[in-house]
Every structure is written in C-alpha cells, then in structure tokens.
Amino acid sequence: MATITPALDTHTHDDHAHGHGHHEQSFISKYVFSTDHKVIGIQFLITTILMLMVGGALALAVRWQLAFPWENMPIIGRLFGLFQTEGGQISPEFYTMLFTMHASVMIFLVIIPVLAGAFGNFLIPLQIGADDMAFPVLNMLSYWFMWPAILCFGISFVAGGATAGPGNGWTSYPVLSDIASAAPGSGAAQTWWLFGLTLVGVSSMMGSVNYMTTIINMRAPGMTLFRMPLTIWSMFITAILQAFALPVLTAAGFMLVFDRLHELLPTSIHSGFFIPSGLVVNNAAPTVGGGQPLLWQHLFWFYSHPAVYIMLLPAMGMVSDMLSCMSRKPVFGYKPMVYSMAAIAGLGFIVWGHHMFTSGMNPALGMTFMTSTMMIALPSAIKVFNWIGTIWDGNIQFNAVFLNCAAFVALFIVGGLSGIFMAAVPVDIYFHDTYFIVAHFHYVLFGATLFGVFAGIQFWFPKMFGRLMSDRVQKVHFVLTFIGMNGTFFPMHLLGIAGMPRRYADPYLHGYLEHLLPMNQFMTISAIVMGCAQFLLLGNFFYSIFRGEKCGRNPWQANGLEWSAPSPPGHGNFDVPPVCYRGPYEYSSPEAEALGQDFILQTSPPPAGVVRTAVAHH
Amino acid sequence: MKKFWALFFWFWPLVALWLCAVAPANNWWFPSPPLSTLGHQIDGLFYLILIIVTVTFVGTQFALGYALWKGAVKEPSGKAWFSHGSHKLEIIWTIVPAFILVFISLTQLDVLAEIRVLSNFPKEARNAPVAEVMARQFEWRIRYPKPGTQLMTEPRPGDLYYVNEVHVPATQPTMINLRTQDVQHAFFVPRLRVKQDAVPGLIIPVWFEIEKAGEYELLCAELCGWGHYKMKARIIAETPEQVQAYLARLEQEQNDDGVADEQSSQ
Amino acid sequence: MSDEHHSSHHVNYLTIFFVLCGCTALSVAFDVLHFAKPVTMVLVLAVACAKAMCVMMYFMHLKFEGNWKFVLLAPTTILAIGLPLALFPDIGSSYYTPTAPQVGVWADEIAEYEQHDAAEQAEKQ
Amino acid sequence: MSHSPKAPALRMGIPIPNSKLGMWLFLGTEIMFFTAFIGSYIVLRLGSRGWPTDYNDTHINVLLGGVNTFVLIVSSYCVVVAHEAMALKNFARARQFLWVTLILAFVFLGIKGVEYKGKIDHDILPGRIPETASQAVKKVSNQLEELVRERFSRYIDAGVVSYPQPGDILNVANLIREIPNGERPNELTTEQFEQWKTSAAADYALFLKWQDLHEHVVANVSLEYPAAPAGFLEARTKLKAGEKPPEITLDETRKRLNEMKANEQYGALVSAHVFDPHPIVYGNIFASTYFIMTGFHAIHVIVGMILFIIVLKQGSALNEKWTDWVENSGLYWHFVDLVWIFLFPMLYII
Ligand code: HEA
Ligand code: HEA
Ligand code: CUA
Ligand SMILES: [Cu+2]
C-alpha cells in the first residue's frame, strides 16, 4: 500500500452534499447558542485552548518564583502587577493562589472540558452515526454553564482583595479552606472558587447524562457495542465515572459552602461538617463544629481520583483510534482494551485513599487502598502493551498525529510507573507532597493526556473545519513541547527524591534544598520553551481554520463513521444515513485489500449476500 | 526522517536513565542516607521498586522504539501485519505484571504495619511519648512533660514549652504526639523519612528511632496557608542524658521568668 | 412506544399504596413501642427497605423493565453502600482529641450515668 | 434521525425512550448525591460520642414526620394513577390526580415549615447551639450583650447621649447612668425626657446584670482554652494575679436569667431576646446534618412541583405528547419519596 499523505482523497463521495442541512439560522442560534453538537464541541475546544493559555501563564509564574524567588517577574509580573502593590514580586499568599488557580484552571477548565466537552461532543454522535445528541438543549446548557464557572473562578482572583485569591490548593482541604481567618484567600475568594467548582460540576453532569443516553440509545443500525470505536467506549466509561463520582463532590462542595455560611452572609448560622470544635485559628474565637476534616478528604478524593481517570480515559480511547489508523493496523486486542478501561473505571472507585496515606487514615484502610491501587496498574499495563502491539509491524505514518500518540504512550508509562512508588504506602510516606507527586501527575496529565489532545486536535481538525492543519508546524510543536516537557518535569522526580516539598513559595529557605536552585532554573527555562511552543499550536490552529489546505471527507483514510460524513458535516451530520457493517479498525484486512486499499469504512457494505447476516445480527 | 523519529524515541529514555545515574553523584538524590530504622526499610522498598520500575521502563520504551524502528525501515509499499491481537500474549502480559504488583504490595505490608499500627509500636516508645508537637500557623510548639512525669493530653502545670526545636534521644525508639491547633499541617523530617499529617481534632502518635545524634530539619508538608514554606524547625537527637540536661535547662529558664511563687515551689 | 408496556402489566396500585401506609404506621409503632435501640434500628430500616422496594418495583415500574435496570442500579447500589462503609473506619470510629469541649461534657455525662446506675444497683441490694 | 422509524428492527440500544433513560441515569446521579449526605450523616453520628435524640434537644416530632411520610406516599400514588390515566388517554383524570399531588406537595412543605419553625424558635440552628455548660452560659451573656447594645444605641440615635465611639459600651453606660441626674437636651420635650429617664434606669440596671455575668464568663472561658484569643488574655493575666471572679454554673445562670425575666422593668425584653440556656452535646453537627438532608430534600420537592406545574399549565390542552413528561416527572417524584422513606426512620426514629 502506498504511504498516505493526508490530502484530497479520491475514494469517497465528493464534497457537494455539504449544504443539505442549511436551514436559515441566525448567527446567534447557529454559532453562539447552538444546539448542534459539532458547534458546541468546537466552542468547548476553543474555550479550553484559551484556558490552556491562562493556566499555562499561571504555571509560568509559579516556575518563575521557583527559579528566581522574590525577584520581579519580567512580563507577567507587570501584568499581575496591576493587582498588586509589590510591583512584579510574588508574595507568598500570591504564590498559593498561583498554583491553586493553575491547577483549577488546568483541571476544571482545560482537561476535563476538552476531553468530554470538546471531543466527546464532537465525536460521539459522529462516530456512532447519530444526527445529534439525545438532548441537544441540555448539551448547549452544559457549554453555557462553563461561562458562569469561568466567571466565578475569575471573580475569585480578585474577590478577596489584591493578593488574596483562593490559596488552598485545588484539593482545598478544610480547615484551611473552611475558616476565613485561616488564610488571606479563605474568605470571599474561596467561596467564589467553590461556586465555580459547583458550576463546572453541573456542566459535566449534564454532559455525562447526555453522553450515556446518546451512546446507549442512538447508535446507527449495525453499530453494536463491540463495533464501537474505543473513543466511544472511553467516553461512555468516562461519563459513567462522572455520573457516579461527581455528585459526591457536589454534595461535599455544598457542605463546605454551608460550613462557610457565616462568612458569606451576615448570620452566625453555619454547619460544621468539616470543623472540629475548639480550634483556635489565627487567634479567632474557638470554632464551633463537631465535624471532621478527614471527611472532606474522603469525599473529595472519592470524586477526584475517578476524576484523574476522567482526565485520562478519553485520551486513551482517542489515542487507540489514532494509533490504529496511523499504523494502518487493527487495534491489538480490542476487547481487552475495552475490558481494561472498564476495569480502570471500576477499580478507580476504590483507590481514592491513596491520596491520604499520610493523613492519619486508619492503617487497615491504608492497606486496602494500597492493594487496590497496585491492581489498577494492571489494566493500565494491558493497555500499554496493546498499544505497542498495535504499532508493531504496522505501516507507520510518521506524521505529527502519530508522534504525539507515541509520546502519549511513552510518557504515560513514565507517569504510571512513578505512581507505583506512591502506591506503596511506606515509600509514599516519604514522597507524599513532594515534587515526586508533581512529576507524576504532570507526566500523566500533560505527558499523556495533553499529548493525546494535541494529536486529537490535528486528527479531527479536518472533520471540524474541512481543512488540514500544517503537519510540519505540528512536528516542530511536538519536538519543542516534548523536549520542554521532559526538561521541566523529569527533574521533578529528582527534586522529590531530594525531599523538596510541593506548594513551597521558597524551598531554598531550607538548607538541604539550597543546592537545587540551578536545577529549578533549568526547569523554568524548559517550561518557557514549552510555553512558547504552544503559540505554534495556537497559530497553526487559527491559521488553518481559514487558510489550511482543503480536504475531503476522509483525509486520513480512516474507518470510522465520522469519515463517511462530509467535512465539515452539515446540520444533522450524515447525508446518507449510516449503517455499520463492521468494527472500526479493519485496516489492511483482506476485505479491504480486495478493494485495493488498506482501509474499509464501517459503512461500506460487504459484497452482496453478506449484508443480511451482518445487519440482522442484532 | 522516519528513522530519526524512531531514534528519538529511543534516545530520550537513555537521557533520562543517564540523568538518574548521575543524580546521586550530583547531590540530586536523597538528602542523606536514611538515619532512622524505619528509614532503612523505606529506602529498601524504594530501591526494590526502583529496580522493578527501571526494568519495566527500559523494556517498554525499548519495545516502543523498536516498533517505531520496524515501521521506519519498512519499505514504503510494505503491508501492515493484519492482526486483531493474541490471546496468549494478553494472558501473559496480564499475569506477569499481576504477580509483580502483588509481590510489591506484599513487601510493603510489614513495614506499613510497623510504621502505622499503634499496637506494633515498640513498647517503650508507646508507653512514654517524649513530647507533644503542636503545629500552628506557622511554627511548631513543643511541650515536654514536667521532668519525671508522663506526658498528658492536656497541658499540666510544670510542663515545658519550646518553639521550633525538638530534643529527642537518639538510638532508641521515640514517640511524639502530633497535633495541630488550627489547620492541617504535616510533620516531615526528610532525613528520617518520617511524615505524618497533623489533623485538626486528632492526636496522632508518631514513632521513629534515630540512629545517629545530630540535627535534622523538620518541615511542614501539608499546605497550611501563606507561610507553609517557612515552618522551619529542627529535631535535635542526642544522648538521653543530654536530653535530660536540656530539659533541666529549659525548666530553669522557664521558671526564671515565671511568677515568683511558682519558683519557690520547686 | 412508551405506553405499550404499561397497559400490559396492570398493577393494582391501591394495594401497594395500602402496603406502604401500613409500613409507615409500623415504623411509628416501633418508635412508640420503645424496643432496645439496636432492635428498633434494624426494624425501622428493614421496613424502610421494604417500602423502598415497593416504590421502586411498582410505582417506578422496575419490575417490568428489561435487564438494563440491573446494569444501572447495581453499581449505584454498590457505591452507595460502599461509600459509608469505607468512611466508617476513619470518621465513624475514630475520634477527636479528649480536649474537644464536647468530649469533656460527654465524659461527665457518662460519669453521671454510672453513678446513677451504681446508686440503682445499691438500692436493689 | 439516522435510524429512521422505518427500520425499527435495526434500532440499537434498549427499548425505552431517550427521555426515560436519561431520567433514570440522572436518578443514578441523584442517588450518589444523597449518598454523600446520608453517608456523612451516618458516619458522623457513629463517630460522635453521643447524639442528641431527646425531643427536648432536637424538637423532632415523630408524628409530624410520619404524617409527612404518609403525605408523600399518597402523592406518589396519585402520580402513578395520573400516569396510568395519561397512558389510557384519560387526560382529565390525569390532571385531577396531578393536582392532588401538587397540593400534597404543598402540604408536605407546610408541615416541613412547621418543623423548621419549631427548631428556629428554640434556636436549634447549626453554629448557634451551645454544646457545653460554659458555652451555654456564654451564649446567654452574648445575647444579653446584643440586647444591651441595641438598647444603648437608641440613646445615641435619639441624641439623648452622644459619644464618639458608640461601640464603647462601658463609657456609653456611664453616660446613660447619668441621664436621670442630667440636663434635658434641647431637642427633647420634658415629657419625652421623663420617659428616657425611666428607661435609662432600667437599661442601666440590665447593663449591670449583663456585666456581672460577663465577668464570670470571661473567667470560665479563659480557663477552658489555653491559647485563647486576644480579649481573654487580659482576663487571664488578672486570673494569674488572683483576681478570679468565681466560676459560674449553668444553674446559677439559669437562676439569674429567670430573675431578669421576672423583672418588671426589662423582663419582657430579656424574654424576647435571650433563649433559655440549653446545652446539647453534638447539637451543631446534628443540626448541620438534619438541615442539609431535609433541606436538599425539600429543594427536590420544589423541583418536582415545578415539573408538575408545567404539565398542569397545559390545562385542558394536555395530550398524549405529555405522557413521557408525566412518566419521567413521576419517576423523579418517586425518587423524592424514596429519599424521604429513608430519611424518616434515620432522622426521626433512630
Ligand atoms: C491522568 C491522571 C492520573 C493518572 C492516570 C494517574 C495514575 C496513577 N496514579 Fe496518580 N495522581 C494524579 C493523576 C493521575 N494519576 C494527580 C493529579 C495526583 C495528585 C493530586 C494532588 O495531590 O494534587 C496523583 C497522585 C497520586 C497518588 C498520591 C500521592 C500522594 O499525594 O502522596 C498516588 C498514590 O498512590 C497515585 C498513584 C497512581 C497510580 C498507581 C496510577 C496508575 O493508574 C498508573 C498505572 C500505569 C502504569 C503502572 C504504567 C504502565 C504499566 C506498565 C508499563 C506495566 C508494568 C508495570 C509494572 C509491573 C509496575 N497518584
Ligand atoms: C492538566 C493539568 C496541568 C497542566 C497541563 C500543567 C502544566 C504545567 N504545570 Fe502544573 N499543576 C497541575 C496541573 C497541570 N499543570 C496541578 C493539578 C497542580 C497541583 C496544584 C496544587 O498543588 O494544588 C500543578 C502544580 C504545578 C507546580 C507545583 C506548584 C507547587 O506545588 O508549588 C508546578 C511547578 O513547577 C507546575 C508547573 C507546570 C508547568 C510549567 C506546566 C506547563 O506544562 C505549562 C506550559 C504552558 C502552556 C501550555 C501555555 C503556554 C502559554 C503561555 C506561554 C502563556 C503566555 C500567555 C500570556 C502571558 C497571556 N504545576
Ligand atoms: Cu504547616 Cu504547611
Ligand atoms: Cu489518585
């Protein structure tokens, strides 16, 4: 088979059918308050890319402080200087705000919405052959609930005065986050932060019910469960995780809000779920309560551990799709891939305690959580090996999509393996809350998920806009990001081993950490390189929307249903109602060879006679 | 160019390995060898996992790079291997890691029980906590029992107080009671590999046996507000006699600037 | 397609309704009867479960639904039971510093009860 | 839709409409939402050393709860009947039963309101409940202080006395003490001034009562908390110097309060502003869980009512298009009932 360069493909229908869905719609209902899942998906995508910039800028400020403590920040410093009397200098409470908001933005406004919101929305109906989501209006609301959330997070920056943004970490442990006198950022800022969190939760909630309903009930004829692309499986499992885990966080969030009621309203009424009585915080009157702070940690991690898989599984699914396509080979072990995702989700509900190994948790619980955490590496291992098996002896297309996916696998291994150290309780006793943890989760979140997202953006870009992104620019972006990412985060493992605690505004205050300053400076420089590289992505993305090379329906010669729709698909998606005849990964199959190509669309009917059995199967 | 990419994916794990290999020599490793009995066990487990993980890392990254290499050297018209997977392989790569992981878990249990299960604490330490360490924004307040008495959960007259410096005996199991007056903190002594959160509303016993007299830095490892980074304190391990002497000195000092009649009662 | 399955399974809702009312009365009765605490607890919770089953089976038609109900409800139920169970060792059985204000009061109260009990014992003898 | 009705055999998925599937999935999430509250309640209750169950502490009325359970069950029954009627296209009957449901929902909320009022009347509100004797004494003192401040501010507002720091209660009190002996300010008529004079005497007397109590309280509290806040430091130094006013017991406070209430000058005021001291161990966490569970349940009731109101607004135009709507809001309503079925024994009986 010839190497495929993404270009105008000649195999499928022409591009003329595009216009069929054009009803006269106003600009507002078409592009702003649209109920079309594709528009909503793209809205989510663009919003999250912009939020990535915000979160990244905050990260760079964090890095600045760690490399050049208490020195005036160059450009960003002046930006933040607007809010702040110290000029460009970061004060310690400002530092706590920086990493809190960095993590909140990255997790709640970038990773979760880009995976479920952007790709989930865009891909689910297209890949299962539906004309839209089951509940389009709900879908639109799920996007428009993001903005109040962004607004609340935005207000929280300034609500507490110049330097008092929410500063309790994204984990927001009480009692620190519960009592206004505990920290400058625990007042109004924390309240707004909690509102933001709740709104993000509502948005995800609406999305997840919608995704589950759509996937269960709106598949095209012939699209049996085990003919669904792994992307769909991953979205489905992610939606289940969200549906069952998120309400618990929402409930806990309400409890925290009610604990803080007297800081919110002029009343002395407030609950005490997380406040033990008799604490004297910052010389204020002793607390009235009767609750327990560990309750929050349990409820929070009951959500937030499944959430880290919410932040990974969709990327895993998408990468499986892309690796298979770019290797022109079926996914190795499709069913094990599905089962292992399900196992990750199932086990993901019973490992949350591994974030609390040093918290004074009951040791019996500690042992249970350790064992289950170790076990969760098993399905991950299966997936890693199957990805390698998928590439093995494939006809690999070395484009940026593939490279990003390969980086996903490579970096996920690193992040996952560092998880093993932390899963072992005695070792975690040393590593907990050191930079080893920071290294771990940046490898899985940035190294794995974001690289998967970079690949996904380029892969499905043609379907979104009918044009291709420049592969060359994406390759440069890939190299710079990959090097910058490893330069920034790999040394963090060593910092962690050296015992450098996280969330420290100035670690060098402690003698045994002083000599780590040069290494931190190196990491900051790498981070800046990586940050600058993101402008390539940004530029390429927006340039290609208008100027990219035009392409047909199936530029990658892939198999999924989405590739049989026009690029971009009109309202209602498919010009020919799709019927699915086979699994999504029949690359290089004999059937395809018979047609003289190395792919065969899920919709392309088998030779007459076979049709009946294939469809009647259900 | 294709080969370049394959080499790229082979090359960076080598850099990573090299960095780890030179790290200890450059002081980018543990701040010091473990100086407590539990620390030795923890480090032992760390190195055990490190070996397993390094082997896995090298194996998987090599395999990934090799898969790329195979793809890179394939002639452009080459045909991909049409395969939906292999049952046998799936079973192998489920069972082998499963064994390894179960093995890792099992090796942890004893040490965990030793560190955290109160009934496993050395008796002499459990029966006589040397001090109460009370974390507070942003300092550590130490309370020793009045020499010759037991430490009580509630302060007693005659108890001795100090800030940011804990004197404990070396070379014998020692237990402190950890608590916090306000928000959550964590008691972290890197060289001893000790870490325990101080949770509001709980008194948590922590034990360790320091092997060598000396000074150990004590930090806070749980975000507790803007001054989290500066909860700097010291643990001073010395002979029991020296600790006694220290406490006597402390008692002296405390009574000197105390109220006169208290002094006369001594 | 929504109504085909309702008409086919006719349920006498009134019966269910009376069962539910009876159960409620039973719960209140258990409260009035003053059994030992654990007994009351088990009894009323059992009654509550029975009531819940009635509502789910008949009012919510679960009895007549396909197997999807198990797929949906089994994980939910497991999680709903598992969460409190997992919280128990930490929150439900650990406690607080003895210096927390309530603990002192509670200790006093216990002492009072004990005195009271001792006095009663003494009286009997 | 791509899977047009023409090929129903090819329809993938399960044979229930999307809306119903969506509702069931949503109910799954709701179960987890209440699990968090109920689970927290269970473990917090088990973790505490005692839980208020006495009626005098909790003001939880089993009978009211039982009636409310009954009300919800009747309403649930009405919803199924309404849905059955919808399915049989008997829309008038459906509407009747939905109306009954709606009215019962109001009844439920009304009874809930009565219960809440009982708690508010006794100040059984989270964050405000004293848990120990000394906290109860302190609360009396605080409420008296509030009352005194309120009374005193009247003099400032009316210009009877003027003082640059109206919050400085001690100095204001000195001025008020002098009113009966003082000159009449020009703005006031003699008659008015006479009234102020009498009330000044009463308010000053009340002030003295409060101040005495307060001194004892400070002594108590500062003994209890070793590192107490700034205000108490002073008291502590005094204590060290031996100036310790005697500790005051709860009974003594009760006695004083009753005396104050019996006073003919200011007794009515005190009765209106100061709750009887009533310490409840673990009262605050009890009230927190009680209000959050019943509160969120009540919010769900209101949402259900909105769903029914939307149907009922169709009036006689109600038609079979609404069958799914009624079925789904019915499911939701049964869920609300289910939650109550568990809350009732857990909160009211156990
Ligand atoms: C996408 C997000 C993501 C993912 C996928 C993971 C995956 C894993 N995580 Fe991670 N984790 C986070 C995000 C994530 N984590 C975040 C954000 C935090 C910090 C939160 C905070 O405190 O702010 C965290 C913290 C965290 C902790 C708490 C540390 C502490 O605070 O003390 C622990 C402890 O056990 C842990 C463990 C694991 C494990 C065992 C996995 C496993 O799933 C990994 C499994 C994968 C592999 C193991 C690699 C592939 C397998 C093979 C190549 C096979 C062979 C391997 C062996 C035989 C060993 N993580
Ligand atoms: C998806 C999640 C995600 C992502 C992508 C990142 C990305 C990055 N993170 Fe972060 N991080 C977290 C999630 C994430 N992080 C979490 C959860 C925490 C824990 C917080 C806590 O403790 O509570 C954390 C904490 C954290 C710390 C530890 C802080 C501390 O504990 O004291 C550090 C320190 O170096 C850091 C650095 C970085 C860097 C350099 C990047 C880089 O990858 C960023 C690269 C930059 C870009 C991608 C954007 C490019 C933009 C520009 C160049 C901006 C220019 C624009 C303007 C000036 C407007 N992160
Ligand atoms: Cu104390 Cu951090
Ligand atoms: Cu986790």
Q: Could you give the C-alpha distances from A263 to A189, A267, B12, B195, in angstroms and in order?
A: 11, 8, 52, 33
Mean pLDDT value across residues D26-44: 94
pLDDT confidence bin for C1, thresholds 50/70/90: very low
D319 Cβ under 8 Å from any chain C Cβ: no
Residue among A38, A44, A249 at smallest CA distance from A146:
A44
Residue D74, amino acid:
V
Question: Which residue's entry shows tokens 């599984």?
Answer: A313
Mean pLDDT value across residues D157-179: 80
Domains of chain A (ranges, CATH numbers): 31-308 (1.20.210.10), 312-551 (1.20.210.10), 552-618 (no CATH)
Residues on chain C touching D80 (C-beta within 8 angstroms): 13, 58-59
Averaged pLDDT of chain A: 87
Q: What is the pLDDT of residue D302?
A: 96
Q: What is the pLDDT of residue B264?
A: 43
Residues on chain B touching C97 (C-beta within 8 angstroms): 153, 179, 201-203
pLDDT confidence bin for D15, thresholds 50/70/90: confident
CB contact under 8 A, A250 and D33: yes
Cβ pair B72, A360 in contact under 8 A: no
pLDDT above 90: residue D240: no
Instruction: Tell me the β-bridge partners of B132.
Output: B143, B177
Residue B125, amino acid:
A
Kindly write down the DSSP assignment for every residue of A513-552, as one continuous string: GGGGHHHHHHHHHHHHHHHHHHHHHHHHHHHHHHHSEE--
Tokens coding A108: 């709640």
Q: Say if ligand 2 is within 6 A of residue A446 CB.
A: yes
Q: What is the pLDDT of residue C11?
A: 72
What one-character DSSP code corresponds to residue B181? S
pLDDT digits (tens, 9 = 90+) for A486-513: 999 999 999 999 999 999 999 999 989 9
pLDDT digits (tens, 9 = 90+) for A35-74: 899 999 999 999 999 999 999 999 998 998 899 888 776 6
Q: What 3-state class would DSSP assign to B100?
A: helix
pLDDT above 50: residue B22: yes
Cβ pair A120, A235 in contact under 8 A: yes
Tokens coding B188: 């972290």
Task: State the SS3 of chain D.
Answer: CCCCCCCHHHCCCCCCCHHHHHHHHHHHHHHHHHHHHHHHHHHHHHHCCCCCCCHHHHCCCHHHHHHHHHHHHHHHHHHHHHHHHHHCCCHHHHHHHHHHHHHHHHHHHHHHHHHHHHHHHCCCCCCCCCCCHHHHHHHHHHHHHHHHHHHHHHHHHHCCCCCCCCCCHHHHHHHHHHHHHCCCCCCCCHHHHHHHHHHHHHHHHHHHHHHHHHHHHHHHHHHHCCCCCHHHHHHHHHHHCCCCCCCCCHHHHHHHHHHHHHCCCCHHHHHHHCCCCCCCCCHHHHHHHHHHHHHHHHHHHHHHHHHHHHHHCCHHHCCHHHHHHHHHHHHHHHHHHHHHHHHHHHHHHC
Give A274→chain B minimum CA distance, Å.
Answer: 10
Q: Which chains reach chain C with 3 or more Cβ–Cβ distances below 8 angstroms?
A: A, B, D
Percent of chain D with pLDDT over 90: 33
Residue among D152, B236, A290 at smallest CA distance from C100:
A290
More confident residue, A445 or C39: A445
Q: Could you give the C-alpha distances from A380 to A174, A336, B94, in angstroms and in order?
A: 33, 11, 10
Exposure class string for A120-154: b at 16+ Cβ within 10 A, else e = bbbbbbbbbbbbbbbbbebbbbbbebbebbbebbe
Interface of D with C in 92-151 (CB under 8 A): 131-135
Residue among B224, B219, B233, B228 at smallest CA distance from B190:
B219
pLDDT digits (tens, 9 = 90+) for A196-225: 999 999 999 999 999 999 999 999 988 989
CB contact under 8 A, A292 and B201: yes
Interface of B with C in 200-219 (CB under 8 A): 201-203
D332 Cβ under 8 Å from any chain C Cβ: no
Q: What is the pLDDT of residue C20?
A: 86
pLDDT above 70: residue D76: yes
CB contact under 8 A, C86 and A240: no
Q: What is the pLDDT of residue D221?
A: 57
C89 Cβ under 8 Å from any chain D Cβ: no
pLDDT digits (tens, 9 = 90+) for A280-338: 887 777 788 888 999 999 999 999 999 999 999 999 999 999 999 999 999 999 999 99
pLDDT digits (tens, 9 = 90+) for B61-106: 999 999 999 999 888 777 888 888 889 999 999 999 999 999 999 9
More confident residue, C63 or C74: C74
Which ranges constitute the DSSP H helices of B117-162? 123-127
pLDDT digits (tens, 9 = 90+) for D310-341: 999 988 888 888 989 999 999 999 999 999 99
Question: Which residue's entry shows tokens 């460009």?
Answer: A88
Mean pLDDT value across residues A402-417: 96
Between the CA of A195 and the centroid of ligand 1 the distance, in Å, is 28
Cα distance between residue B122 and residue A478, in whole Å: 55
Mutation pick from C91, C95, C103 vs chain A, by most beta carbons of A within 10 Å, is C91
Cβ pair A436, A422 in contact under 8 A: yes
- Best mutation site among A97, A446, A482, A530 for ligand 2, i.e. most ligand atoms within 8 A of its Cβ? A446
Q: Say if ligand 1 is within 6 A of residue A233 CB.
A: no
More confident residue, D4 or C42: C42
Cα distance between residue C119 and residue C121, in whole Å: 5
Tokens coding A122: 């865009």
Q: What is the pLDDT of residue A45?
A: 95
pLDDT confidence bin for A1, thresholds 50/70/90: very low
Between the CA of A350 and the centroid of ligand 4 the distance, in Å, is 10
Q: What is the pLDDT of residue B69?
A: 93
Percent of chain B with pLDDT over 70: 96
Mean pLDDT value across residues B246-259: 80
Q: Are strands B233-238 and B165-169 parallel, antiparallel or unpaired?
A: parallel
Cβ pairs B/D, distance under 8 A: 3
Look at ligand 3, atom 1, and give the residue with the nearest C-alpha: B185
Q: What is the pLDDT of residue D319?
A: 85
Cβ pair C63, C57 in contact under 8 A: yes
Mean pLDDT value across residues D201-213: 86
Percent of chain A with pLDDT over 70: 91
Cα distance between residue A155 and residue A175, in whole Å: 22
pLDDT confidence bin for A520, thresholds 50/70/90: very high
> Would you say the C-alpha torsion D33, D36, D41, D42 has a positive or negative sign?
positive
pLDDT digits (tens, 9 = 90+) for B120-130: 899 888 888 99
Beta strands in chain B (DSSP E): 131-136, 139-144, 160-163, 165-169, 174-180, 185-189, 194-198, 204-208, 214-220, 233-238
Exposure class string for B93-111: b at 16+ Cβ within 10 A, else e = bbeebeebbeebbebbbeb
Between the CA of B62 and the centroid of ligand 4 the distance, in Å, is 28
pLDDT digits (tens, 9 = 90+) for A128-156: 999 899 999 999 999 999 999 999 999 88
Which bound ligand lies closest to the C-alpha atom of A416?
Answer: 1
Residue among A379, A392, A542 at smallest CA distance from A473:
A542
pLDDT above 50: residue D299: yes
Residues on chain A touching C101 (C-beta within 8 angstroms): 277-278, 286
Q: What is the pLDDT of residue A235?
A: 96
Q: What is the pTM of this model?
A: 0.92
Mean pLDDT value across residues D138-164: 84
Give C114→chain D minimum CA distance, Å.
Answer: 15
Instruction: Tell me the β-bridge partners of A496.
Output: none
Cα distance between residue A260 and residue A253, in whole Å: 11
Give C88→chain B minimum CA distance, Å.
Answer: 16
Instruction: Tell me the β-bridge partners of B143.
Output: B132, B161
C101 → closest Cβ in D24, D132, D342: D132
pLDDT above 50: residue A126: yes
Which bound ligand lies closest to the C-alpha atom of A304?
Answer: 4
pLDDT confidence bin for A88, thresholds 50/70/90: low
Q: What 3-state class would DSSP assign to A336?
A: helix
Q: What is the pLDDT of residue A346?
A: 93
pLDDT above 90: residue A2: no
Which bound ligand lies closest to the C-alpha atom of A344?
Answer: 1
The torsion defined by the Cα of B213, B216, B221 and B223, in degrees rounded to 10, comes to 130
Give B254→chain A minimum CA distance, Å.
Answer: 23
Q: Say if ligand 1 is within 6 A of residue A380 CB.
A: yes
Averaged pLDDT of chain D: 83
Helices (H) and strands (E) in chain A, counts: 23, 2
Q: What 3-state class would DSSP assign to C60?
A: coil
Mean pLDDT value across residues B22-36: 91
Cβ pair A206, D22 in contact under 8 A: no
pLDDT above 70: residue B263: no
Residue among A572, A548, A571, A573 at smallest CA distance from A563:
A573
pLDDT confidence bin for A186, thresholds 50/70/90: confident
Q: What is the ipTM of this complex?
A: 0.91
pLDDT above 90: residue D232: no
Give D191→chain A minimum CA distance, Å.
Answer: 38
Which bound ligand lies closest to the C-alpha atom of A423?
Answer: 1
pLDDT above 50: residue D4: no
CB contact under 8 A, D240 and B155: no
Cβ pair A401, A458 in contact under 8 A: yes
Among chain B residues, CA nearest to D240: B259
* Distance linking the first and last C-alpha atoms of chain B: 85
Determine the atom of ligand 1 nearest the C-alpha atom of B53. 59
Look at ligand 1, atom 30, and give the residue with the nearest C-alpha: A432
Q: Could you give the C-alpha distances from A614 to A331, A563, A581, B83, in angstroms and in order?
A: 21, 21, 6, 21
Domain B123-254 indexed as CATH 3.20.20.70: no
Cβ pair B68, A396 in contact under 8 A: yes
CB contact under 8 A, C75 and A362: no
Cα distance between residue A289 and residue A67, in whole Å: 41
> Which of A10-19, A89-98, B27-36 has the weakest average pLDDT?
A10-19
Burial of D262 (0-12, 13-18, 19+ CB in 10 A): exposed
pLDDT digits (tens, 9 = 90+) for D105-114: 999 999 999 9
Instruction: Tell me the β-bridge partners of A501.
Output: A434
pLDDT digits (tens, 9 = 90+) for A247-292: 999 999 999 999 998 888 888 889 999 998 888 887 777 788 888 9
pLDDT confidence bin for A87, thresholds 50/70/90: low
Residue D233, amino acid:
L
Task: Give D20's contacts (C-beta < 8 A, 6+ positions apart).
Answer: C2, D324, D327, D328, D331
